[in-house]
C-alpha cells in the first residue's frame, strides 16, 4: 500500500471517527534535548537524565529548565566533566545553605555518587576523615574517584 496524502489521511480518519490532532513540532536533526518532552514529561537523553538525577539526589528537588539546559549543554559539548558537575552541585550555595551535618553529607554522597545507601563501616571511615581534617571537597573527590561513579557516568553517556 502506498503512502496517503494528508487529505486522504484526514478523510480516512473522519470516516472511522478518529479525530486528527496536530503533530508536535520536532527538533531539528542532531539537536540535543535539553528539557523534558512536553508530551510525556520524559528526557530521552542520557546526559539530560544525569543532570535531572543530580538535581533530585543532591539538591532534593526537581530541576528548573534553564539550569538543566545549561548543564546538559556543558556536558554534551565536553566543556565540563561529570565530576565537575557534582562539585558544582555539592559545593554550590544552594546545597551549602542547607547546612547538612557531616553524617547527612556523607549519606548524600553515597546516594548520589555511589547510588546506594551507606554501609556502617564506610560511613564511619568517611566521618573519621572529616573529623581529622579532610574537607568535604576532599571527601567528594574521593567518592568521585571510585568505580561506582565511573559506572554511573558511563551509563549516562558522560565521558
Distance set, CA 82 to CA 102, 135, 145, 151 (Å) = 23, 20, 11, 11
C-alpha cell at position 63? 530541576
Residue 49's contacts (CB-CB under 8 Å, 6 or more residues apart) are 43, 156
- Does the predicted model carry a pTM greater than 0.85? no
Band of pLDDT at residue 18, cut at 50, 70 and 90: confident
Query: Average pLDDT for residues 13-25, to the nearest whole number?
Result: 74
Residue 108 confidence (pLDDT): 98
Residue 24 confidence (pLDDT): 57
Q: How many other CB atoms are there within 10 angstroms of residue 152's CB atom?
A: 20
State which H helix or E strand residue 151 sits in. Answer: helix 147-155
Amino acid at each position: 500500500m502506498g503512502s496517503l496524502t494528508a487529505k486522504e489521511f484526514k478523510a480516512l480518519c473522519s470516516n472511522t471517527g478518529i479525530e486528527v490532532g496536530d503533530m508536535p513540532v520536532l527538533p531539528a536533526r542532531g539537536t540535543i534535548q535539553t528539557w523534558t518532552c512536553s508530551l510525556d514529561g520524559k528526557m530521552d537523553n542520557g546526559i539530560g537524565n544525569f543532570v535531572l538525577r543530580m538535581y533530585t539526589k543532591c539538591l532534593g528537588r526537581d530541576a528548573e529548565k534553564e539550569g538543566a539546559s545549561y548543564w546538559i549543554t556543558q556536558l554534551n559539548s565536553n566543556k565540563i566533566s561529570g565530576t565537575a558537575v557534582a562539585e558544582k552541585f555539592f559545593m554550590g550555595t544552594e546545597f551549602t545553605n542547607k547546612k547538612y551535618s557531616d553524617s547527612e553529607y556523607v549519606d548524600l554522597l553515597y546516594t548520589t555518587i555511589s547510588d546506594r545507601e551507606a554501609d556502617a563501616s564506610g560511613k564511619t571511615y568517611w566521618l573519621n576523615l572529616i573529623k581529622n581534617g579532610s574537607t568535604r571537597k576532599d571527601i567528594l573527590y574521593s567518592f568521585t574517584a571510585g568505580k561506582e561513579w565511573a559506572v554511573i557516568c558511563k551509563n549516562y553517556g558522560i565521558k
